Amino acid sequence: MSVPVRKFDAVIVGAGGAGLRAAIQLSEAGLRTAVISKVFPTRSHTVAAQGGVAASLGNSEEDHWHWHMYDTVKGSDWLGDQDAIEFMCRKANEVVIELEHYGMPFDRLDSGKIYQRPFGGHMSNFGEKPVRRSCAAADRTGHAMLHAMYQRNVKANTQFFIEWMALDLIRDEEGDVVGVTAMEMETGEVFVFHAKAVLFATGGAGRIYYSSTNAFINTGDGVGMAARAGIPLEDMEFWQFHPTGVAGAGVLITEGVRGEGGILRNASGERFMERYAPNAKDLASRDVVSRAMVTEINEGRGCGPNKDHVMLDITHLDPATIMKRLPGIREIGIQFAGVDAIKEPLPVVPTCHYQMGGIPTNYNGEVVVPKDGNPSTPVPGFYAAGECACASVHGANRLGTNSLLDLLVFGKSAGESMVEYIKAQPAAHKPLPANAADYSLSRINRLDTQTDGTAVGATRLAMQRTMQAHCGVFRFKDMLAEGVSKILDIEKMVAATEIKDKSKVFNTARLEALELDNLIEVAKATIVSANARTESRGAHVRDDATDTPERPDGRDDVNWLKHTLWHREGNKLEYKPVNMKPLTVDTIALKKRAY
């Protein structure tokens, strides 16, 4: 069946920070650039970023990109590629100042320079003392960034396809990427976007977990499309969690609540942190608190009908103190847990926040795969940036405020690489394969004709609950293995989803089914990779890989200082070396990650 074809020099999927930054580069180079987005660009999840963007501008005190690089390598628990990390930290000042010139309203010092605030993990002189490195626009940095870059794109004539959903990557017989298929929501019609180069900037996939801070749009569309197109996924076992999100909702409860005297309790009302951290108790580090919460839940002492959360209790505090020091918490409790925290404890659970792994790229934003003995061979015409990509700068854990920096630096570098690649191509596009849209059409046809199938919402919930219980913030050997088997069963349910509404126009049921096709790829990659990695490193912490003199904190550099690559075909795993060699400076040598 033939479908309409639209032709561009470059197609970008996703209009968050990374997609918008890359689009500026392409459109300002005079290339015809299309940006496909499920939602209006300024409603992308980048809007949720509050903390700021890291850059060693040194506006308030001495700072240096090399110190930033050290903090990032250490944060990554040495799994980050040191060439990419050096590249990012060196580029930080340039992209932040460019953003300022685009009109980004950064907070300022009296001198007029960009104000910089301290942030966890930002240190001067290779871990010596805290440094002010984060550049912010009040608590709406992501929001301001999206607006500044969207306006710049409008000026540059970027063509936006808003309320369109990309469906599949198109590769020709040589494996080169020549476009994507996408559905216009208003009509339900499928189009081919024929391009010389394609960038995925689709954000994270935090919705694979039951408790997630991610917006509903974060369904890993680019990651799922890449996996279906035969691209392996890198380091998907690494996800950043916060200890206290509202159970069943995901909205974060600030750690300040425990600082003000909040107590964590299990089903019998016990203050369980006294057993895990007798001195620090509820003020123990984020990792210790998260692990204790999960242990309580796994050992049957969780609260609620499903025994799947614990309680954060502030009822013993003076209501006047709560209203004065924690005004937002009462509002969050009432709005998202149906609980007045002054009178009743809040249900909380460790909550997924950020995806460190993704589509493998180098620091030029080129997607790279193992080929002919080279573990990082670029796929011609294919690029990725932002949370959906794995450059890899975050390694096993991300340093705060490096997420916005990642999307600026790698959005720009991917855009630059695409400009160079496109300009080196012949004037005519590489031809589309004859069956370019067949795969997408067959997926939609399957959905439209499915009978006696599974419900999308219930299947998604089964996946989310399985991932939360079996592959959450603290991982147990037996539960991981059991979780793999459960997720593979749920995959079969996903392959048989049925929608009652078969209409074409703005059929949100169909869109959610297509999103679930992407989420399940991410879930499989995550749990299969986590099950195989038998060490603890960064955000991947297992009960059977504990602290020993040979393996501090359970990290096993002899066997596991390597990147995971998960292949959809047969759930196969292979590994590639971590790049320990920076571009110009000496390697930051392995040592125990301690703060």
Partner 1 sequence: MDDAANDPQVNMGRLRWHCRRGLLELDLVLQRVVEGGLLEELSEQQRAELFELLHYDDITLLAIVSGREECEEPRLKGMVDLLRAV
Angle among Cα 124, 389, 376 to the nearest 5 degrees reads 95
Min separation Cβ 44 and partner 1, Å: 5
Min separation Cβ 252 and partner 1, Å: 9
Min separation Cβ 346 and partner 1, Å: 15
Angle among Cα 516, 517, 523 to the nearest 5 degrees reads 75
Of 286, 325, 446, 465, the catalytic one is 286
Site track 423-442 with partner 1 (rule: CB under 8 A), x = hit: --------------------
Site for partner 1 in 14-43 (CB under 8 A): 38-39, 42-43
Nearest to 238, CA basis, from 79, 383, 351, 391: 79
* Phi, psi at 100, each rounded to 5°: -60, -40
Min separation Cβ 373 and partner 1, Å: 42
Min separation Cβ 139 and partner 1, Å: 9
Q: Candidates 101-109, 139-147, 430-438, 526-534: pick the segment binding partner 1 (CB under 8 A).
A: 139-147
Evaluate the CA torsion angle 27, 33, 34, 35 in order and state its sign.
negative
Closer to partner 1 by CB, 45 or 568: give it: 45
- Catalytic residue list contains 537: no
Min separation Cβ 42 and partner 1, Å: 6
168/443 Cα distance (integer angstroms):
10
136/105 Cα distance (integer angstroms):
9
Please identify which residue in 140, 301, 465, 551 interacts with partner 1, judged by CB under 8 A. 140
Closer to partner 1 by CB, 327 or 373: give it: 327
Closer to partner 1 by CB, 42 or 397: give it: 42
Please identify which residue in 121, 250, 381, 386 interacts with partner 1, judged by CB under 8 A. 250
Please identify which residue in 6, 7, 143, 281 interacts with partner 1, judged by CB under 8 A. 143
Min separation Cβ 247 and partner 1, Å: 13
Sequence-distant (≥ 6) Cβ neighbours of residue 392 within 8 angstroms: 76, 79, 80, 81, 84, 234, 235, 356, 357, 360, 563
Site track 322-341 with partner 1 (rule: CB under 8 A), x = hit: ---------x---xx-----
317, 328 in Cβ contact below 8 A? no
93/226 Cα distance (integer angstroms):
31
Closer to partner 1 by CB, 280 or 505: give it: 505
Annotate 30-46 with DSSP letters as a single string: T--EEEEESS-GGGSGG
166, 42 in Cβ contact below 8 A? no
Site for partner 1 in 493-532 (CB under 8 A): 503, 505-508, 511
212 is a site residue for partner 1 (CB under 8 A): yes
Min separation Cβ 212 and partner 1, Å: 8
569, 266 in Cβ contact below 8 A? no
163 is a site residue for partner 1 (CB under 8 A): yes
> DSSP 3-state assignment of 463?
helix
- Amino acid, res. 85: I
Please identify which residue in 89, 149, 215, 422 interacts with partner 1, judged by CB under 8 A. 215
Q: Are strands 33-37 and 159-162 parallel, antiparallel or unpaired?
A: parallel
The angle, 0 to 180 degrees and rounded to 10, between the axes of the packed helices 402-424 and 82-101 is: 90
Closer to partner 1 by CB, 347 or 378: give it: 347
Nearest to 542, CA basis, from 470, 475, 469, 473: 475
Please identify which residue in 18, 249, 297, 348 interacts with partner 1, judged by CB under 8 A. 249
Please identify which residue in 79, 136, 178, 217 interacts with partner 1, judged by CB under 8 A. 217
Please identify which residue in 3, 97, 156, 251 interacts with partner 1, judged by CB under 8 A. 251
Q: Are strands 116-124 and 53-54 parallel, antiparallel or unpaired?
A: unpaired
214 is a site residue for partner 1 (CB under 8 A): yes
140/143 Cα distance (integer angstroms):
5
Binding residues for partner 1, rule: CB under 8 A, are 38-39, 42-48, 140, 143, 147, 163, 185-187, 212-217, 249-251, 331, 335-336, 503, 505-508, 511
Active site residues: 286
